[in-house]
Structure 1
Amino acid sequence: MQSTQERKTFDWKLVKRLSPYLKQHLLLLMLALVLLLGVDLTDVLHPYLVKIGIDQHVITKDLSGLTRICLLLGLVLVSNFLMFVGFNYTIQYLGQRILFDLRLDLFRKVLALSNEYFDGTAVGKTLTNVTNDVEAIREFISEGIVSVLGDFVKLAFVLAAMLLLNVRLSLLAFTIIPVFVLATLAFRKSIRSGYRDARAANSEINTSLVETIAGVKEIHLFNHKDESSRRFAEYNRHYLDAYLKVVHSYSLYFPVIEVVANLSMIIILCYTHFAAGTALEIGVIFAFFAYVHLFFKPLRQMAEKFNMFQSSMAATERIFRLLDRKVVITNHPHARRINGHFRGEITFDRVNFAYKPGTPVVKNVSFTIKPGEKVAIVGHTGSGKTTIINLLNRLYDVQEGAVLIDGVNINEYDMVDLRTQIATVPQDVFLFTGTIANNIALHDPRISRQAVEEAARQVYADRYIQRLPQQYDENILEEGKLLSVGQRQLLSFARAFVRQPSIIVLDEATANIDSETESLIEAGVKNLLDGKTAIIIAHRLSTIKSVDRILVLHKGELVEQGTHHSLLRQGGLYKQLYAMQALMSN
């Protein structure tokens, strides 16, 4: 179903939303318009000067007058060339500047959005907003609206020149305009439909491509290549069929328009056959043919711009929908700055939370972790363990209750300071394209190279870093492709250690580690957790026997808590989980 915006060719409200970006480069815009005005004026002046040269100097054999007209015509042509070059450069530069500003604002918006946006939005959609949609607006500015304004101005100049030359010939030429309008309306529908289907097919191709690249390992492991190829070929065929519809329409439309334009010239020729020699000069006839060509050229260009306008309006709406999206997680107006470190006391006070209304994930959870205490959270998959960590980091805000650190609601802390004091080591580590050192420090200017190397030594990541050709300057490529799972996890420990946080969160951080690497981490983790409050989420219960306390979650509720041995004596859910894992490991 086509949206209202997709049906609308031009929406001044959306154009108005773009005005702040245009105002930032108002001088460039004004310069482009002045240059375009000069280009249109010299375009229209050219046939008129030729007409004067023929009627006043060629026929009368006035060589000196013809020389002057030729020099003036040459000056007009050179001026047209220079202004056209200047206009093209200026308008393209303006489009790129607006693209730069818009894309930067969109990227900053994406960084500011809360996790709830990404939970419900496909990556490909956001990617399209920041790339294709912004490019469509650049095209709209640099090749659309300004050019159309220029076309209207050129039409006005041409009409004025035609009427000044000969009113009767002008009226004859204008009789063909209704045919042009009917031809444009006839083809517009099929062209619009084709472009709309092509955009939908292009979205399918992008989605398929993103899924294939992200899941290429699974495609190979599960022999899914044939099905992936079939689906991509299907989407590619959709795009080909849709675009061929556009090609077919344009292949008929442009010849029809040429016939219409030539028909106007034929009418003028028929008229001049009877009028020539009595009422018309040869130069007038020549100029009129040139003006008929100039008259239909901007009309043809404006017809071509129709679908670009429609596509640009839809892209503009999508971009501003993203820019207008409310940021849910925000700083308190008078946020508390954190000087030094937290003591590390964590309190969950009757916390309730649901990702989707009516489907609670955390239900009335209350507990307190003392400063320096090491606490593990366990439970079945989906019991709410990771959600507890997300709430502590304010990736989401609780709907009921409160999360406190050192007796203060975390909503009152400055978010940057809060997250600086909480280092979370996830199960699936994300590494950025760049060097080992940059991935540990994350370009934080406060972290020295010496601190980076010391952090790597403390968690034993230096054991493999020292073997790399460039050591800490080794480029690990996108997502750390050159490193093993265990090596990437060790880097994440170094990343946490170097920041010297008050609270450490290990979110199943050793779940994918081989036994050799795990022995290194067990040694390094003692240094990492020394003197800090720690929350450890682990699937393997054998790794958390020595923690101070264990919290057992079940279906979002805190059902048990105690030490490893006390929980085993209780004979509850924890004992069942432990017995199940012991049985599976035998």
Structure 2
Amino acid sequence: MKSNMGKGGGRIQKERGYDATAKTQKMLDWGLLKRLFPYVRTHAALLAVSLVLLVAFDVTGIVHPYLLKVGIDQHIVKGDLPGLIRICWILAAVLVSNFIFSAAFTYGVEYLGQRLLFDLRMDLFKKVLALSNDYFDVTAVGKTLTNVTNDVEAIREFISDGLVSLLGDILKLALILVAMMLVDLKMALFAFLTVPMYLGATALFRNSIRSGYDGVRKANSEINTSLVETITGIKEIHLFNHETRSEQIFAGYNRNYLDAYLKVVNSYALYFPVIEIVANVSMLLILTYAHFAAGRALQVGVIFAFFSYINMFFKPLRDMAERFNSFQSAMAAAHRVFKLLDQPVTILNAPTPQQLPANMRGEIRFENVTFAYQPGHPVMKNVSFTIQPGEKVAIIGHTGSGKTTTINLLNRLYDVQEGAILLDGVDIKAYDLTALRSQIATVPQDIFLFTGTIAENIALHDPRIRREDVEYAARQVYADRYIERLPQRYDENILEEGKLLSVGQRQLLSFARAFVRQPAIVVLDEATSNIDSETEQLIEAGVKNLLAGKTAIIIAHRLSTIKSVDRILVLHKGELVEEGTHDALLRRGGLYKQLYEMQTLMLN
């Protein structure tokens, strides 16, 4: 996959749909925060407790310099030892309380963040499960992976470590301002002269930091996609000596990440020194004021307290700058997360779905079906045919003729654009989607096995399927021949995708998975094309038991395997061009005969 991310922040913003103006950014930020609010509101009680602890933590922190001022001006200067001891005890109590409130607040806010992460990640995962195939056709796996992992973590960081703490920083600033004005109003006004400098620096660097983090997220998605492709296709990479090119592709994505992050680093390399300069200028203003005010009464404790408050005043500002870092990262992540959550689900149940009859006959009828994955490029054109209950029908044709599309449409992985597909005389769009798919067992060419036991991969955790049903299904399709030889038999754990099983063993497992559900319709999507000779006889016997008494659609490359079916449908460039039995089609001398003779010649 070729990267389309430029090195400049402007292109990144354009690709992600952001306007560079501060007004649009502000509106976008508030819009995203509004979307996040329901997740916070769910845990309102925990948030309220955290805020109370935060207030207590800030108040005890602000009291500390004031107590030092009192101790210096009213007790140390006057030699009042009992009063100094009393202040020390009060100060110790304040410090202990501050520690307790800090620890409790930290635990509470982190727990809140983890709960929010859990809720948001579950919503995303449910959305991924609900999305239709057309989304995954055009979306890289790494992008979705980044949404559910890195992006959600960035949002959690902002809410737990940023948003609540930001409220605390604002409160602390307000308390410090009040305390400074109460200690010495003129001195406070001198210190406040530098605040506009801080606000100006923040506004100046905001857009640059935001676009930089947006680029970081996009580059991270590309890295995840590359990793997924590399790990999934590692065998092909080794077999075809593709290591060098894979490394070059990954290096390109890694360079994009570096460039985007360096943009953020460059912004902060200037931003934080500016904040330090603002803090130091405030100190100089305080020293200047103290110098010119030395001629009047100016207590030592006041100066000491004021310097403490100045340090405390700019610490929240520096913390807010760090939280601004988190904020920009979270906003870029939130945009991506909500973009995924807002993806339309194209395959939906009818408002009042019709339940399938208890005894499905299994009649399938395509009526003038036209379908295109991309507008203007139909892969099925006005296709009509009927498969009677219990009939075994094969669908053949060149690659791209529409064979697999027929199966996808029957399972409602996609919806037809024109025409209709009827099951027992009812449009499949009217049926409940889950019930529809429970009556159609599709056995693909490349079966996907989940991490778990043999029994779990057959039953797929369906509570209606008992252990004896699993074992009976395995016996009927002859999968028990190898399962019984495994150390733990049906409780044997298999690795991801069943890597330690042979192709034939995996296929027998898929037959058992289909058999145990007792569907009305069975679809074999080139399910016997990759079978090794050792299990070929078992496969043939297993298929016979699997299809007994059921309507069957068989897609096969090897035409010799479909001679005995009731009827053969021949597709060519999305159109149904021939149908009939094997012998009848050979006598007709059309496309089927050409395909059959070509395969026979190749095998000989």
For 1:86, give the aligned amino acid: A
1:279-428 correspondence to structure 2 within 5 Å: 279-428=297-446
Distance of aligned partners of 1:186 and 1:416 in 2 relative to their CA distance in 1, 3 Å threshold: closer
Let me know the Cα RMSD of the aligned residues.
1.8
Query: Aligned pair 1:549/2:567, yes or no?
Result: yes
Partner of 2:107: 89
Partner of 2:466: 448
User: 3-state SS of the aligned residue for 1:511?
Assistant: coil
Partner deviation per Cα, 1:367-408 (whole Å, 9 max, x = no partner): 111111110000001111111111111111111111111111
Out of 133, 137, 140, which is 1:119 matched to? 137
Query: Aligned pair 1:521/2:539, yes or no?
Result: yes
Distance 1:333 1:189 in 2: 45
Query: Aligned pair 1:143/2:178, yes or no?
Result: no
Partner of 1:476: 494
For 2:165, give the aligned amino acid: S
Give 1:51 deviation, angstroms.
Answer: 0.6
Q: Which runs of 5+ in 1 are unaligned?
A: none
Partner of 2:3: none
Partner deviation per Cα, 1:93-139 (whole Å, 9 max, x = no partner): 11111111111111111111111111121111111111122112112
Distance of aligned partners of 1:15 and 1:439 in 2 relative to their CA distance in 1, 3 Å threshold: same
Partner of 2:46: 28
- Give the number of aligned pairs: 586
Distance 1:538 1:6 in 2: 52
Tell me if structure 2 keeps the 8 A contact 1:6–1:313. no
Give 1:208 deviation, angstroms.
Answer: 1.6
Partner deviation per Cα, 1:354-379 (whole Å, 9 max, x = no partner): 11111111111111111111100000
Partner of 1:75: 93
Partner of 2:70: 52
Partner deviation per Cα, 1:35-76 (whole Å, 9 max, x = no partner): 111111111111011111111111112122112211111111
Distance 1:481 1:271 in 2: 76
Tell me if structure 2 keeps the 8 A contact 1:187–1:253. yes
Distance 1:81 1:6 in 2: 44
Partner deviation per Cα, 1:324-356 (whole Å, 9 max, x = no partner): 222221112222223433111111111111111
Partner deviation per Cα, 1:534-563 (whole Å, 9 max, x = no partner): 110001000000000000011111110000
Distance 1:188 1:444 in 2: 52
For 1:446, give the aligned amino acid: R
Distance 1:194 1:21 in 2: 27
Give 1:85 deviation, angstroms.
Answer: 1.1
Tell me if structure 2 keeps the 8 A contact 1:115–1:396. yes
Distance 1:312 1:486 in 2: 48
Matched-pair identity in %? 71
Partner deviation per Cα, 1:239-294 (whole Å, 9 max, x = no partner): 33443444454345434433432332233223323434732111111100011011
User: 3-state SS of the aligned residue for 1:11?
Assistant: helix
TM-score w.r.t. the length of structure 1 is 0.96
Give 1:513 deviation, angstroms.
Answer: 0.9
Distance of aligned partners of 1:191 and 1:398 in 2 relative to their CA distance in 1, 3 Å threshold: closer
Out of 514, 529, 534, which is 1:511 matched to? 529
Moved more, 259-268 or 382-391: 259-268
Distance of aligned partners of 1:318 and 1:187 in 2 relative to their CA distance in 1, 3 Å threshold: closer
User: 3-state SS of the aligned residue for 1:40?
Assistant: helix
Partner of 2:245: 227
Partner of 1:17: 35
Tell me if structure 2 keeps the 8 A contact 1:173–1:267. yes
Partner of 1:42: 60
Distance of aligned partners of 1:204 and 1:280 in 2 relative to their CA distance in 1, 3 Å threshold: same
Distance 2:193 2:545 in 1: 89
Out of 567, 580, 583, which is 1:565 matched to? 583
Tell me if structure 2 keeps the 8 A contact 1:6–1:314. no
Partner of 1:65: 83
Moved more, 271-280 or 12-21: 271-280
Tell me if structure 2 keeps the 8 A contact 1:341–1:501. no
Distance of aligned partners of 1:505 and 1:236 in 2 relative to their CA distance in 1, 3 Å threshold: same
TM-score w.r.t. the length of structure 2 is 0.93
Partner of 1:165: 183
User: 3-state SS of the aligned residue for 2:452?
Assistant: coil
Tell me if structure 2 keeps the 8 A contact 1:37–1:150. yes
Distance of aligned partners of 1:204 and 1:38 in 2 relative to their CA distance in 1, 3 Å threshold: same
Moved more, 35-44 or 373-382: 35-44
Partner deviation per Cα, 1:500-535 (whole Å, 9 max, x = no partner): 111110000011111222211101111111111111
For 1:382, give the aligned amino acid: G
Distance 1:6 1:96 in 2: 32
Tell me if structure 2 keeps the 8 A contact 1:511–1:540. yes
Distance of aligned partners of 1:412 and 1:183 in 2 relative to their CA distance in 1, 3 Å threshold: closer
Distance 1:175 1:401 in 2: 73
Distance of aligned partners of 1:11 and 1:179 in 2 relative to their CA distance in 1, 3 Å threshold: closer
Tell me if structure 2 keeps the 8 A contact 1:5–1:313. no
Distance 2:414 2:516 in 1: 26
User: 3-state SS of the aligned residue for 1:535?
Assistant: strand
